[in-house]
Structure 1
């Protein structure tokens, strides 16, 4: 019987330098898409997948992130007094139960693999998920929920995968496919940020993982890899050498790279257009902007 995945690691120690000066005082994960911070999208996705323990790997300057998940009694009392029930409901959805959330410090920026390794004592011997909040995925069924349902049949390690243009492969970890089974592929190798001509496929790993505790043991032995960092991809690839299953999962949904300014803006537009109370006004504005640009050419 395969164990359920109930723990998730959220690596949020990055400085967010691509969004300076905003991130001088505001953690990138608190920056908002429409009216919800990036981290809330990640938390909601994890909850939908059955995650009950949330582990944040943080660094200095992230106190606003910790405060965000705390209760706000004065604000709640004010909303209650004014009869703003919907806002009160929305506010309460951001609260985390006592003991459900933990914070671990990553004191040196040594890569994603190192960030996951920092949480090893809270994982112990259970399978666990890793969610990168920079990757926001719009999907009818949340991406991690799709993965946990598939994981119930496969076990092993599973990574979310999407097809990318060959010239963009160098920005991702790329899968070397053993067998393509449609939404699922079995993996025989993984290459971190290959040159376009060396990429074994166009299936790129994006920020959702379900991993076994063996990956943490592999990270114990890891030396720095691509870019001088400890790569999570390398620790997962070690599972292939041990002949333990590694799978790529083609999720159904649209992924936005909110670690880049362009991706963040694209996500803001897409999520705004998905909101009933915003879509008409926003759509009209976008049409006007396009018309003005065409007229200026």
Structure 2
């Protein structure tokens, strides 16, 4: 049985890259086909064995918490009309043995600060960090990438950071893992010797970009508590991970699925196309529609 039972999902961002859509609706509630982005991410965590999900939120984001709560009036009406399938889709969003909690990030002070806001609930246990902007699509795979990362964490006794290969002209957009010239195959983990935040193309130690999934030991929360503001005058998770590297092994896990960055307009559209072509209710008709576009 896995030792990793908790996930921290920071959802306090403003969603400026998808404005005006996110002006009144949290970006995490924007739908990909028939589920909001946050539900796709929570389902990913649950499949990886997570039993306690901690949302790090702020004012104006109550719709996220409401989504995972019961809605008596809606469920009652669906029941009366015998719409069983739809009722199940809204009343059984999470299994009964999974808990969703929320904590507030009182001010925007960076990803590291957001993660540390959950320290008391994490309570000195290993934990997962999931950035909800990024969907990881493991369609028709027996295990999702997060499951494999959790397994690697337990087996190797080392923090796991998800990476994917990106084109050389895009490395400056990401944090990049330096694995001392070693490039893991998809689904494998290798040791990281350093992490470089948004390097110039000519300075990048590899093409392995960090893509928003982490499995971390409890020690990271202690390191975050001592982390000073860094880039952008914010408390950066990367800085705490650099300190962790000085103390223990950290590994880069190369993903097997495909990512979609729903935090920007193009990535969001791409996710809807990909997931729409996989959804049993829409796949065939949507494919026909797309083939007829000019």
Same fold (TM over 0.5): yes
Correspondence list, 1:89-108, <5 A: 89-95=88-94, 100-108=99-107
Compute the TM-score of the two structures, normalised by the length of structure 1: 0.92
Q: 1:189 maps to what in 2?
A: 194
Tell me if structure 2 keeps the 8 A contact 1:8–1:53. Answer: yes
Looking at structure 1, the residues matched to 148 and 4 of structure 2 have their Cα atoms a distance apart, in angstroms, of: 13
Report SS of the residue matched to 2:179: strand
Give the alignment of 1:142-157 within 5 angstroms: 142-157=144-159
1:195-236 CA distances to partner (integer Å, 9 max, x unpaired)? 111111100111110011111111111112223221111111
Does residue 1:86 correspond to 2:85, yes or no?
yes
| Cα-to-partner distance string for 1:160-215 (whole Å, 9 max, x where unaligned) | 11001121111111001045453111110011111111111100111110011111
2:256 equivalent to 1:231: no
User: Which residue of the partner structure matches residue 257 of structure 2?
Assistant: 253
Please give the TM-score of this superposition, normalised by the length of structure 2.
0.93
Name the SS for the 1:158 alignment partner: strand
**RMSD (CA atoms):** 1.7
Partner SS, residue 24 of structure 1: coil
Aligned partners of 1:109 and 1:191: how far apart in 2? 23
Aligned to 2:266: 262
Contact residue 164 and residue 211 of structure 2 kept, 8 A: yes
Answer yes or no: is the 8 Å Cα contact 1:174–1:193 preserved in 2. Answer: yes
Residue in structure 2 matched with residue 295 of structure 1 by the alignment = none
Moved more, 4-13 or 226-235: 226-235
Deviations 1:74-114 (A, max 9, x none): 11111111111111111122257598222111121111111
SS at match of 1:263: helix
Change (3 A) 1:213 1:258: same
Structure 1, gaps ≥5 residues long:
293-297
Match of 1:172 in 2: 174
Measure, in 2, the Cα distance between the counterparts of 1:62 and 1:277: 30
Greater shift after overlay, 257-266 or 136-145? 136-145
Q: Contact between 1:218 and 1:235, CA under 8 Å: does it hold in 2?
A: yes
1:219 aligned to which of 213, 221, 224? 224
What is aligned with 1:286?
290
Corresponding residue number in structure 2 for 1:16: 15
Whether the 8 Å contact between 1:9 and 1:131 is mirrored in structure 2 is yes
Q: Please give the residue correspondences for 1:30-49 in structure 2 after superposition, counting only pairs within 5 Å.
A: 30-49=29-48
Larger mean Cα displacement after TM superposition, 29-38 or 163-172:
163-172
Provide structure 2 residue ranges, at least 5 long, that are not aligned to the other structure.
none
Three-state SS of the structure 1 residue aligned to 2:193 is strand
Matching residue of 2:161: 159
8 Å CA contact 1:162–1:206 kept in 2: the answer is yes
Equivalent pairs counted in the alignment come to 288
The 3-state SS of whatever aligns with 1:22 is coil
Moved beyond 3 Å, runs of 4+: 95-99, 178-182
Equivalents in 1 of 2:290, 2:282: separation in Å? Answer: 12
